[in-house]
Amino acid sequence: WISTAQVANKILLLARTTPVEECSGTEGLSLFYTDLDRSTVEVREIDKLGRKCVDSNQVFIDGLRIPVEDRVGEEGKGFSYILHGLNPERILIASEAVGLGRAALARAAGYANEREVFGRPIGQNQGIQHPLAQSWMELEAAHLMVQKAAWLYDQHAPCAAEANAAKYLAAEACYHACERAIFTHGGMGYAKEYHVERYLRESWIPRLAPVSPQLILCFIAEKVLGLPKSY
């Protein structure tokens, strides 16, 4: 799942530089920013559900030699550098999910107002209104968690629990909003013309990546609730 490897000429690579049995914790991994040498790196594109504007790839590395000046920071400390990017990435993806969910909701409300069945707009029925109102609340609540996580990050305060919670809540709220947008459009929800089928496909990415919802639950259970590590 390496993004943009079809066009990249550089690669950010985390590689083991000390055998695992000689290290403790997450040490022994080093970070490199180096040329993507296609004579030693094979790139195979993955055909996928959505996100067509960015290529995703399997990458096979065999015999790539990296000069020491391409190492980022100290040898063996690479994982600690990668960690710096994980929380902001979750906050960013959570924001994206809130935005996508809101876009789906706006299309659903718009269609519910204009589509008339049996002489009145379908949006006049509570069966249509209530799920959309629920989605609005879910998205707003998720957005508050996104803001809290971003604020903590800006204060240089610990924010892993909030960043993970924001990613989880926003992705789930987004997915529900996209699903409800399709239901609101009825059969037309399945037509590409109304875009909501694409929104649903795109909503899978913030759900699955950069960390799955199940692993977020594992993290919260362990780090926030003090339960034994399960993975």
Ligand X SMILES: Cc1cc2nc3c(=O)[nH]c(=O)nc-3n(C[C@H](O)[C@H](O)[C@H](O)COP(=O)(O)OP(=O)(O)OC[C@H]3O[C@@H](n4cnc5c(N)ncnc54)[C@H](O)[C@@H]3O)c2cc1C
Residues that bind ligand X (CB under 6 A): 1-3, 48, 51, 56, 205, 208-212, 214-215, 218, 230-231
The residue among 184 and 203 lying less far from ligand X, judged by its C-beta, is 203
Residue 169: which residues within 8 A CB-CB, separation 6 or more? 94, 138, 141, 142, 145
The residue among 48 and 223 lying less far from ligand X, judged by its C-beta, is 48
Strand ranges in the chain using DSSP code E only, listed in sequence order: 2-3, 10-16, 29-35, 41-45, 56-61, 71-72, 116-117, 120-121
The residue among 48 and 115 lying less far from ligand X, judged by its C-beta, is 48
Q: State the minimum distance, in angstroms, from the CB of residue 119 to ligand X.
A: 44
Q: Which residue has the tokens 């204009």?
A: 114
* Contact indicator for 90, 166 with CB cutoff of 8 Å: yes
Task: Give the amino acid at 44.
Answer: R
The CA-based dihedral angle spanning residues 19, 21, 27, 28, taken in that order and rounded to the nearest 10 degrees: -10
Q: State the minimum distance, in angstroms, from the CB of residue 73 to ligand X.
A: 19
Q: State the minimum distance, in angstroms, from the CB of residue 204 to ligand X.
A: 8
Q: State the minimum distance, in angstroms, from the CB of residue 18 to ligand X.
A: 22
Using alpha carbons, select from 69, 63, 68, 77 the residue that is nearest to residue 14. Answer: 77
The residue among 57 and 147 lying less far from ligand X, judged by its C-beta, is 57
Strands across the sheet with 71-72, in order?
10-16, 29-35, 71-72
Q: State the minimum distance, in angstroms, from the CB of residue 120 to ligand X.
A: 41
The residue among 136 and 204 lying less far from ligand X, judged by its C-beta, is 204
